[in-house]
Amino acid sequence: MRSTVSAWQHAAVDPWSHYRTLRRIAMDQRNAGASRGPLPVSDPWGEYAADQLAVLDHLGVDRFVVVGCCIGGSFILKLCSLAPERVVAAVLEQPIGVTADNRSLFEAMRRDWATELLDARPELAPGEMEAFLAAMWADDFVVSVPREEVARCPVPLLVLPGIDDYHPTAVGREIAELAPHAELLEPWKDSPEHVAAATEAVERWLLDRVPAS
């Protein structure tokens, strides 16, 4: 929920800095960085996707390839669910996943985020914040969509599993196993050499799927 354009500089595979053969579009997500907006209590993930599609509509972009890191993997899977005809291909870099082992970590993270936002935005009501967080983090796995939705995903996916508690390796592998058009790239983060190779491999994978027109 702190996803900003500048956060890409901390990603191991950073398309914002490297993929100059592609037109790159990034955004501060709602209520992160320079972005401001109401808390979408009734449908948090759907509203995030609507924000992302609205930016693309504003820029005249119909179809696109997309790369997401961390919670970006969950954003992507929601986009693939709501607008699969627009997503040409997608790369999920160390996607998050909520499990019995790490649920407390995500609970602490979202409490910290909520405290920061409420301190900065006195017009937001604490009860509204609680309702938003409860709706956004109601499920496990990738949170934004259930496993059944991932299994129906028609979009080609390239999954780079994470290797830490917030980005469980097993979750990345399960996404790749469930999605019918998914590929797995690993190992990729265990050495600088593998990160460099993965950065090049992801760009080639995306370019291979961009229509010639």
Tell me which H or E stretch contains 176. helix 169-178
Q: What is the pLDDT of residue 213?
A: 64
Q: What are residue 83's phi and psi, to 5 degrees?
A: -140, 55
Q: CA 91, 154, 5 angle in degrees (round to 5)?
A: 30
Q: What is the pLDDT of residue 199?
A: 97
| pLDDT above 80 (res 87) | yes
Q: What is the pLDDT of residue 212?
A: 76
- pLDDT-derived band at 172 (thresholds 50, 70, 90) equals very high
- pLDDT-derived band at 54 (thresholds 50, 70, 90) equals very high
Q: What is the pLDDT of residue 134?
A: 96
Q: What is the pLDDT of residue 55?
A: 98
Beta strands across the sheet bearing 64-69: 64-69, 87-93, 157-160, 182-184
**pLDDT, tens digit, 9 for 90 and up, residues 173-210:** 999 999 999 999 999 999 999 999 999 999 999 999 99
Positive or negative torsion for Cα 110, 120, 76, 68: negative
- pLDDT-derived band at 145 (thresholds 50, 70, 90) equals very high
- pLDDT-derived band at 211 (thresholds 50, 70, 90) equals confident
Q: Of all residues in the chain, what percent are helix, strand and coil, respectively (each to 5)?
A: 45, 10, 45
Please give the domain boundaries of the chain with CATH numbers for all domains.
Answer: 5-208 (3.40.50.1820)
Length of the chain: 213
Positive or negative torsion for Cα 7, 93, 21, 51: negative
| pLDDT above 80 (res 60) | yes
Two tokens, residue 9: 């500089």
